[in-house]
Structure 1
């Protein structure tokens, strides 16, 4: 019985059902998490869940010059990366903030 529990636990861990970790250099899967973002419903670069606590990244929406970590400018064309908002099984979790964006 103990082996069954260990097998189930390892299945959850290895299939990536938990949110990933944003690197201290503000990247995820080699992409910098600052810049122009397009919100899509299919074929995203990342799946993101919006949370109120324990985020992987704090995001500040800006209208221009999104150069620092966690600064996102929403665009409809020519994005740096595409994001799909999901309620479960995200790649990482974000919290919208008014100040101090970046990796917590």
Structure 2
């Protein structure tokens, strides 16, 4: 009986809150908007790759309101990133056209 209760509690637990990249968000944070690059305590750790990125981003000057559009700022960011070589949350690739998730 205890195994059944554990199964039911896991089934309806808030663990499902963690979003996936397929919805252009991760852990409830949208992957577009104002981005600050930091060296420590970032919202996300990202790895820059040349091919097969999890997220293709386009740097924009204003109105970063679509998936993969990033406006780099020093203050008042929506989220922060830290560049890493390993153990990233997701990989990124800079593009000029068609940002987002494939």
TM-score bin (small chain) = 0.7 to 0.9
Gaps of 5+ in 2: 1-18
Gaps of 5+ in 1: 1-20
Aligned-pair CA distance for 1:25:
1.4
Q: Counterparts of 1:54 and 1:28 in 2: how far apart (Å)?
A: 18
> What's the secondary structure of 2:23's corresponding residue?
coil
The structure with the largest helix share of the pair is: 2
Which deviations, in whole Å up to 9, do the C-alpha atoms of 1:21-69 show, x marking residues without a partner?
A: 9422100111100000000001100000000011100000011000000
Q: Could you tell me which residue of structure 2 aligns to residue 11 of structure 1?
A: none
Q: Counterparts of 1:42 and 1:93 in 2: how far apart (Å)?
A: 18
Which aligned segments of 4 or more residues in structure 1 are displaced greater than 4 angstroms? none
TM-score, with structure 2 as normaliser: 0.79
Q: Counterparts of 2:89 and 2:78 in 1: how far apart (Å)?
A: 17
Q: Could you tell me which residue of structure 1 aligns to residue 68 of structure 2?
A: 70
Count of matched residue positions in the alignment of Structure 1 and Structure 2: 84
